[in-house]
């Protein structure tokens, strides 16, 4: 059938029901799965009395993260936004700088830039990965930027363009090799917003290992959750030590004295959250298998449906399929809201993509390149239920909405 044929909202709902085997009143977009030793580890944490940032589980969680991702170092923090803020600060981003980020992203990416006093500079997306279009960005920088004393500078604003943040949309890795080439050409620091891509691989290397620094998120909707939480990944020992120092209020170690040698942040992950995370990481491989199995069911269910496409991983990557997505043909884009209404009325939680950052009121005056593809995608994407438990033969409690 043609991808350009008309779709019916009720037909889309019916297909989703066949995949989800819907027997309950509602199916969430993404909810946590607690099927391991969560109760044991959290109880042990409570019994020990160490529930705040001092406790054995924080170190264990960081070690498990490093081992799983292949990064040398991981520093656990309170959430993914604070992780990205620290990444940018350690990347040298200063007040008044510009930072290139995708227009199609969750607001935390832009917020973290602003927390550093910097200005988001919006880049367009590509269809293959839904991430930043490296070739289009390179062409844009030829016209917009110049190197002054080795610093990439925006010709129009005169501000330094300090870094490029690459976000792996819905868990699908962006074209990291091409984006790295752009960074090398223009002296930009590559930072990965890997909040959605734990368990995703670019050319057999885990995401988060390509940027100088990378940020993870463990919000309740992520593939692995600590309730709230995030982490800074890096392969640079000096940056890791500074990340740990900054996120622990920049306090110098001492048995009793409170001496802080710079402005720091109270961002360390509590032991209680880390205990939950340790149990979750032990189930990472089953989570990934179940999510990929669910994605394959969706792919088969929609492969012959006209006017709609189930988005699959790029050929160079292995995705965690964190949040599954349908992409309507341009002809069917006007039906997006009708599909959202019909599915949600039927108890199947679906949602559109984020509103483009460039359209939000606080970012409307920020610099941007041509955003034609991102604007097109914004109108056509529908996210559908993606919980790991949907690929499992049993139900588990939970219900965090995805961000």
Predicted confidence band of residue 258 (pLDDT cuts 50, 70, 90): very high
What's the Rg (C-alpha) of the chain?
21
CATH number of domain containing 325: 3.90.1150.10
Whether 402 maps to a domain, the answer reads no
Whether 1 maps to a domain, the answer reads no
Domain count, the chain: 2
The 10 Å CB-count burial string (b at 16+, else e) for 79-114 is: bbbbbbbbbbbbbebeeebbbbbbbbbbebbbbbbe
Whether 3 maps to a domain, the answer reads no
* pLDDT (0 to 100) of residue 3: 46
Burial (CB count <10 Å: 0-12, 13-18, 19+), residue 397: exposed
* Per-residue model confidence as pLDDT tens digits over 200-223: 999 999 999 999 999 999 999 999
Q: Which two tokens stand for residue 106?
A: 């969750």
Give yes or no: residues 27 and 49 share one domain. Answer: no
The mean pLDDT of 226-244, rounded to a whole number, is 97
Give yes or no: residues 300 and 382 share one domain. Answer: yes
Give yes or no: residues 386 and 251 share one domain. Answer: no
* pLDDT (0 to 100) of residue 242: 98
* pLDDT (0 to 100) of residue 52: 85
Give yes or no: residues 207 and 80 share one domain. Answer: yes
Q: Kindly report the length of the chain.
A: 403
Using CA atoms, how far apart are residues 118 and 88, in angstroms rounded to an integer?
10
Which of 281, 309, 334 is at the close of a domain?
A: 281
Give yes or no: residues 232 and 299 share one domain. Answer: no
Which of 281, 307, 337 is at the close of a domain?
A: 281
Using CA atoms, how far apart are residues 137 and 330, in angstroms rounded to an integer?
24
Which of 281, 316, 342 is at the close of a domain?
A: 281
The mean pLDDT of 65-69, rounded to a whole number, is 98
- 288 in Cβ contact with 320 (< 8 Å): yes
Reported pTM: 0.94
Using CA atoms, how far apart are residues 284 and 68, in angstroms rounded to an integer?
9
Contacts of 397 (CB under 8 A, 6+ apart): 34
The yes-or-no verdict on residue 393 having pLDDT over 60 is no
Give yes or no: residues 259 and 185 share one domain. Answer: yes
Whether 193 maps to a domain, the answer reads yes
User: Cβ of 143: how many Cβ atoms within 10 Å?
Assistant: 8
Give yes or no: residues 250 and 332 share one domain. Answer: no
Give yes or no: residues 274 and 289 share one domain. Answer: no
The boundaries of the domain holding residue 76 are: 38-281
Q: What is the mean pLDDT of the chain?
A: 94
């Amino acid at each position: 059938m043609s991808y350009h044929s008309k779709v019916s909202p009720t037909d889309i709902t019916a297909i989703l029901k066949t995949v989800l085997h819907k027997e309950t009143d509602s199916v969430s977009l993404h909810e946590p799965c607690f099927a391991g030793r969560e109760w044991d580890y959290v109880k042990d944490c409570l019994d020990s009395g160490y529930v705040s940032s001092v406790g054995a589980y924080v170190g264990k969680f960081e070690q498990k993260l490093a081992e799983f991702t292949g990064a040398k170092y991981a520093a656990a923090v309170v959430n993914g936004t604070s992780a990205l803020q620290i990444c940018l600060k350690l990347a040298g981003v200063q007040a008044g700088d510009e930072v290139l980020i995708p227009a199609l992203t969750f607001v935390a990416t832009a917020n973290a830039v602003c927390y550093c006093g910097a200005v988001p500079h919006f880049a367009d997306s590509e269809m293959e990965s839904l991430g930043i279009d490296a070739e289009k960005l390179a062409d844009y920088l030829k016209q917009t930027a110049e190197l002054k004393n080795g610093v990439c500078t925006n010709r129009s604003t005169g501000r330094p363009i300090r870094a490029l943040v690459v976000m792996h949309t819905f868990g699908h890795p962006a074209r990291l090799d091409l984006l790295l080439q752009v960074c090398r050409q223009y002296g930009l620091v590559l930072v990965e917003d890997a909040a959605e891509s734990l368990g995703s691989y670019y050319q057999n290397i885990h995401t988060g290992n390509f940027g100088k620094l990378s940020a993870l998120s463990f919000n309740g909707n992520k593939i692995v959750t600590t309730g709230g939480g995030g982490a800074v990944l890096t392969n640079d020992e000096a940056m890791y030590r500074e990340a740990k120092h900054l996120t622990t209020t920049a306090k110098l170690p001492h048995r009793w004295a409170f001496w802080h040698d710079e402005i720091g942040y109270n961002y360390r992950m509590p032991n209680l959250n880390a205990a939950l995370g340790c149990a979750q990481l032990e189930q990472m491989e089953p989570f990934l298998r179940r999510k990929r199995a669910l994605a394959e069911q969706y792919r088969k269910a929609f492969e012959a449906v006209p006017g709609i496409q189930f988005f699959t991983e790029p050929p160079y990557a292995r995705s965690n399929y964190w949040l599954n997505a349908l992409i309507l043909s341009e002809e069917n884009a006007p039906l997006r809201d009708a599909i959202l209404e019909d599915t949600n009325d039927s108890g199947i939680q679906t949602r559109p993509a984020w509103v483009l950052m460039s359209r939000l009121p606080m970012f409307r005056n920020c610099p941007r390149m041509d955003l034609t593809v991102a604007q097109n995608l914004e109108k056509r994407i529908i996210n559908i239920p993606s919980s790991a438990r949907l690929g499992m033969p049993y139900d588990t409690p939970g219900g965090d909405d995805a961000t």
